[in-house]
């Protein structure tokens, strides 16, 4: 199908580097475009690596009454902010990755169902439900070594939200898998979705959406796989994409 003739019924937006400016604001132009899309009956879904706690206030501020895909698809929330689906990780895997972070002296973070841990972990790793683990590694060689170790396990979905990090979810879990569930529940097909993002954790949803939009500040892999490239998150890139393809 010619992308000029795609009927967009749902817009999926990554947050950091996409919807949000570098100082975590939503520009006036973007707010206005989102409001106009909503008035047309288009659903707006935040699809983010962040936890529910770290994203729902932005959804509320935008007046969004739709689903949320959080922690790269590990959690899906409905219009009433009730959990629809949650996919947890084995605590043994978390313990192993925490060990890797200590072994290679990397920065890390981990998200459980209650909070985000940064460079520290609870005493009992088996007392909480884990959703995601992330490494922040500025040494390219070390990052490659850890990436290969993670890959060799065959249990994980590996992506990033910034070139220097590695995000680890359970295999088969991605923003795309989360959006597919949302679309099924809303009776929308993926071909009627416009998705926008900037990092590798957005890659699958950009490939599967009817219109995949890469931000001007996106990683090269994303730009190569997108249907269209907009301006950066500092230049109202989301607003421009909504105006071009939806309004």
Indicate the domain borders of the chain. 3-86+174-245, 91-170
| CATH code for the part of the protein at 91-170 | 3.30.1240.10
CB neighbours of 194 closer than 8 A, spacing ≥ 6?
A: 6, 8, 10, 11, 12, 209, 210, 211, 212, 213, 241, 242, 245, 246
The pLDDT value given to residue 227: 98
pLDDT tens sequence across 63-80? 999 999 999 999 999 999
Percentage with pLDDT > 90 across the chain: 98
By DSSP bridging, strand 75-77 and strand 43-47 are unpaired
To 10 degrees, what angle do helices 140-153 and 91-103 make?
160
Q: What is the mean pLDDT of residues 82-96?
A: 98
CB neighbours of 95 closer than 8 A, spacing ≥ 6?
A: 125
CB neighbours of 9 closer than 8 A, spacing ≥ 6?
A: 41, 42, 43, 186, 188, 192, 193
By DSSP bridging, strand 75-77 and strand 68-70 are antiparallel
The pLDDT value given to residue 84: 97
Phi, psi at 203, each rounded to 5°: -60, -50
Decide: pTM greater than 0.85. Answer: yes
| CATH code for the part of the protein at 3-86+174-245 | 3.40.50.1000
Residue 3 has pLDDT above 90, yes or no: no
Confidence band of 4 (pLDDT split at 50, 70, 90): confident
H-run or E-run covering 36: helix 28-39
Tokens of 8: 């967009």
Residue 1 has pLDDT above 60, yes or no: no
By DSSP bridging, strand 228-229 and strand 211-214 are parallel
Could you check whether 3-86+174-245 and 91-170 share the same CATH topology?
no
User: Catalytic amino acids?
Assistant: 14
Please tell me the distance from the alpha carbon of residue 48 to that of residue 64, in angstroms, as a whole number: 15
The pLDDT value given to residue 2: 74
User: What average pLDDT does the chain have?
Assistant: 97
Task: For the beta carbon of residue 225, count every other beta carbon within 10 angstroms.
Answer: 15
pLDDT tens sequence across 154-213? 999 999 999 999 999 999 999 999 999 999 999 999 999 999 999 999 999 999 999 999
């Amino acid at each position: 199908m010619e992308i000029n003739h795609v009927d967009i019924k749902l817009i999926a937006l990554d947050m950091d580097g996409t919807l949000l400016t570098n100082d975590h604001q939503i520009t006036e132009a973007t707010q206005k475009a989102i409001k106009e899309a909503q008035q047309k009956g288009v659903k707006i879904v935040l699809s983010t690596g962040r936890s529910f706690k770290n994203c729902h206030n932005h959804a509320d501020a935008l007046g969004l009454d739709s689903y949320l895909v959080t922690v790269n698809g590990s959690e899906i929330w409905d219009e009433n902010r009730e959990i629809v689906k949650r996919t947890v990780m084995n605590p043994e895997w978390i313990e192993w990755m925490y060990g890797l972070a200590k072994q290679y002296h990397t920065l890390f973070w981990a998200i459980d169902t209650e909070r985000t841990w940064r460079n520290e972990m609870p005493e009992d790793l088996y007392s909480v439900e884990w959703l995601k683990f992330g490494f922040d590694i500025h040494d390219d060689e070390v990052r490659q070594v850890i990436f290969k170790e993670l890959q060799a396990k065959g249990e994980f979905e590996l992506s990033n939200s910034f070139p220097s990090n590695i995000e680890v979810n359970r295999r088969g879990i991605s923003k795309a898998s989360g959006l597919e569930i949302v679309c099924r529940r809303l009776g929308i097909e993926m071909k009627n979705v416009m998705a926008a993002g900037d990092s590798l954790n957005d890659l699958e949803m950009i490939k599967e959406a009817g219109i995949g939009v890469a931000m001007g500040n996106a990683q090269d892999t994303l730009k190569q796989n997108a249907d269209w490239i907009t301006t950066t998150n500092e230049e109202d890139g989301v607003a421009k994409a909504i105006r071009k393809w939806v309004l």
